[in-house]
Chains A and B, each alone.
Chain A
Amino acid sequence: MLSLSSVTKRYGDVTALDRLSVNVPDDSYVSLLGASGSGKTTLLRVIAGFEEPDGGKVIYDGHRLDGVAPHRRGIGFVFQNFALFPHLSVADNVAFGLRYREEEPVTDPSELKARVADAIRLVGLEGLEARKVTAISGGQRQRVALARTLVTEPRFVLLDEPLGALDANLRERMCDELRAIRERLKVTFLHVTGSETEALLMGDVVAVLSAGSIAQVGPASSLFALPKSADVARHLNAYNVLSGRVVKGGFEGAGARFALPGKQAASDGAPIEVALRFDRISVRPAGATAADPAGEAAIRARFIASEFTGASVLSFFRLEDGTLIQVVAHLSGPAPQAFTKDELYELSFNPQDVIPFIERAA
């Protein structure tokens, strides 16, 4: 198990990692979700040893890793830009670690050949062994980078936005393959990404990195269903976040007022943030005082624009106080309504679906 405790890393006045603590279990696929600038890459570089932390500890199976030179840590790193050796062939790139590593290099040519061939077969690059890495496609380079790392049999592999440089089709295929490869090798993958869909799809466990520390860790489905803070909710790109105040155990703000689910311990007037999923909102024209289903809450908002994304339509509304609200309508349901720009609409939802975050704002 890899555990980081209170790891801090500063660059001048900027604190990239702020007393970050996290445990990464063995034999698992962990995805680390973070916006750009949240310290994702710094975290990986600290684990790999390219940077040393200013404070805190990095411990792997009871051994301190910080302070150990990167080439003695036994941790694999797959770079975002692949970082292949441009003057070597595919096979020589893959063989590099085994051949030239300081500890226990593989000197027997036949063993070297067999292991390189295995790694190349693992990532499906048979037939390209003699090619220069400058003469293969982006997806193939990604595979070389992966094979080059995996052939050295690290128990822990760091993947820095490994799919970022690939086009959408290829990305989906690589996702499946990465998971399959990991399951076959029984190693730990720590996959860093800025895409919430990728993080949720890939990770057995998802960790959300925000402002230099881990905001939440958990299985993908529970993390998505129940974000612990407004920050995590924002990262998931599936929640509208409203801010307001607690009034009589309910929420008031942004031109809305509704009861909150469960009992709220917060006193009146305490600031509060609530998250409301994009797909839990229905829209109807304002003023049409249709029968309000019991317990429904509603906010008035002006329609701005819609985006057609294939299987669903994403609509943008603006509240009176300027907050942007997104609504998702799935096209599998009844035909979506056509909205008129700058018209007022009523956005209604069940207050039981709202997730309140009092402790964070308090």
Chain B
Amino acid sequence: MMEIAGEQIRSAAPAMGEDNGVSPAERRDRQERRTALMLISPGVLWMTLFMVLPMIMVVYVSFWTQTTFTVEPKLTTDSWVRFLTSSTYLASTWTTVRIWGIVLLSTLLIGYPVALFIGLMVRNQTLQTALLVICVIPFWTSFLIRVIAWRPMLGTEGAINMILMKLGIIDTPLTSLLFSEFAVLIGMTQIYCVFMVGPITFMLSRIEPSIIEAARDLGAGFGRIFFKIILPLSLPGVIVGAIFVSVMVLGEFATAASLSGRKVNLLGNIIVSQVGSLKWAFASVAGVILTVIIAVVITALLRVVNLRKEM
């Protein structure tokens, strides 16, 4: 019986396909590999042409020789030496990192309670979505308008000063509100907060209400439940939000340019002004340094949580 069945299968196989000796499992593996390759190739092509090659180019250009109006492909470390020995540029690197840190913290401190409310307190999904949309409403206007709108708010004769004067809290208008680092921090926090709220809300809304009830039933108070259950379970959201905010804040220049009155110079501002005066080699140095900082920050954040396991 077995013999006969084996015979039949062997005689049927060549008739079905030309590739002799290939098992169906192997054939399917090959098919799947072909499909995977087809799916991934547009992305790989795009990234190679518009990211990997330009980045190699930027590193290369940072070693070119810069004269007042031209840049020549003659290799030198002049631009690097100038950047690394100048207190102005090192200071602006430090400012970039400091502002990134403060904005990251403030978006987290403001964003987390909002996410806690939307993701955990509101259990109606329609209402959850509606509230998230409300958070995004400022994005219906352009980025620049959102930034510039802070001027009439924070200015010497702006809304905040007017209200404080009317209430009699201050006699003379506060001049440090606008065109200061404070203004840049306020502006950035407002713009990037929503990128923190979104991912955290998503993670919080996935927490089963019964898990929190179980923790209460076991005798834990609110603080314990928050730090031992809610926070760890929402940590992947915090990390994703932090990556969004970090990437955007570290590369920022517009908010600083329009709200700081040139008092705050971020690496982004340096790149813009150097490119403006055709100092390509020097702009490239700043660009490479900025890219390295962003890479370090993202790597560090990803170390905190294994996102692949959580998603």
Contacts and interface: CB of A to CB of B under 8 A. Distances in A.
B145 interface: no
Given A96-B220, A103-B219, A77 B214 contact: yes
A189 to B, nearest CB: 15
B216 interface: yes
A165 to B, nearest CB: 13
Interface stretch (B27-35, B67-75, B221-229): B221-229
A85 interface: yes
A104 to B, nearest CB: 9
Interface string A48-91: 10100000000000000000011110111101010111110000
B224 A48 contact: no
B210 A83 contact: yes
A84 B224 CA distance: 16
Given A86-B233, A100-B228, A71 B210 contact: no
Q: How large is the interface on B (under 10, 10 to 19, 20 to 34, 35 or more residues)?
A: 10 to 19
B218 A152 contact: yes
Contact of A100 (B211, B213, B217, B220): B220
Nearest to B214: A83
Contacts of A101: 218-220
B3 interface: no
A101 B215 CA distance: 9
B277 to A, nearest CB: 53
Given A50-B213, A83-B214, A85-B211, A97 B220 contact: yes
Contacts of A85: 211, 214-215, 229
A96 B228 contact: yes
A69 B216 CA distance: 9
B208 interface: yes
B54 interface: no
Contacts of A87: 232-233
Contacts of B216: 50, 69-71
B109 to A, nearest CB: 23
Nearest to B207: A86
Interface in A127-148: 148
A326 interface: no
A188 interface: no
Contact of B219 (A50, A79, A83, A102): A102
B210 A81 contact: yes
A281 B144 CA distance: 84
A300 B208 CA distance: 53
A152 B233 CA distance: 24
B257 to A, nearest CB: 43
A193 interface: no
A149 interface: yes
A225 to B, nearest CB: 37
Interface string A233-248: 0000000000000000
Contacts of A48: 213, 217
A253 B224 CA distance: 63
A85 B217 CA distance: 13
Contacts of A79: 210, 213-214
B309 to A, nearest CB: 10
A83 B228 contact: no
Given A86-B233, A96-B228, A71 B214 contact: no
A70 B228 contact: no
Contact of A97 (B208, B210, B219, B229): B219
User: Max chain A CB contacts within 10 Å: which of B214, B219, B224?
Assistant: B219
A101 B208 CA distance: 20
Interface string A21-53: 000000000000000000000000000101000
B218 A83 contact: no
A148 B216 CA distance: 13
Given A81-B210, A83-B211, A86-B233, A149 B218 contact: yes
Contacts of B218: 71, 96-97, 100-101, 148-149, 152
Contacts of A74: 219
Given A81-B210, A83-B208, A75 B220 contact: no
A76 B219 CA distance: 9
A84 B213 CA distance: 11
A102 B215 contact: no
Contact of A76 (B217, B224, B233): B217
A69 B217 CA distance: 9
B210 A70 contact: no
User: Max chain B CB contacts within 10 Å: which of A48, A70, A75?
Assistant: A70
Nearest to B225: A100
A293 B233 CA distance: 71
B135 to A, nearest CB: 27
A244 B192 CA distance: 72
Contacts of B220: 71, 96-97, 100-102
A159 to B, nearest CB: 12
Contacts of A84: 211, 214
Contacts of B210: 79, 81, 83
A168 to B, nearest CB: 24
Contacts of A76: 217
A83 B221 CA distance: 17
A71 B228 CA distance: 15
Contacts of A152: 218-219
A76 B224 CA distance: 18
A356 to B, nearest CB: 44
Contacts of B219: 71-72, 74, 97, 100-103, 152
Interface string B178-222: 000000000000000000000000000000101101111111110
A74 B216 CA distance: 10
B228 A77 contact: no
A74 B219 CA distance: 7
Listed from nearest, the 6 A-B pairs whose CB atoms lie closest are A101-B219, A97-B218, A83-B210, A83-B214, A100-B224, A102-B221
24 contacts: A70-B213, A70-B216, A70-B217, A71-B220, A71-B221, A77-B214, A77-B217, A79-B210, A81-B208, A83-B211, A84-B214, A85-B211, A86-B211, A96-B215, A96-B218, A100-B215, A100-B218, A100-B224, A100-B228, A101-B219, A101-B220, A148-B214, A149-B218, A152-B218
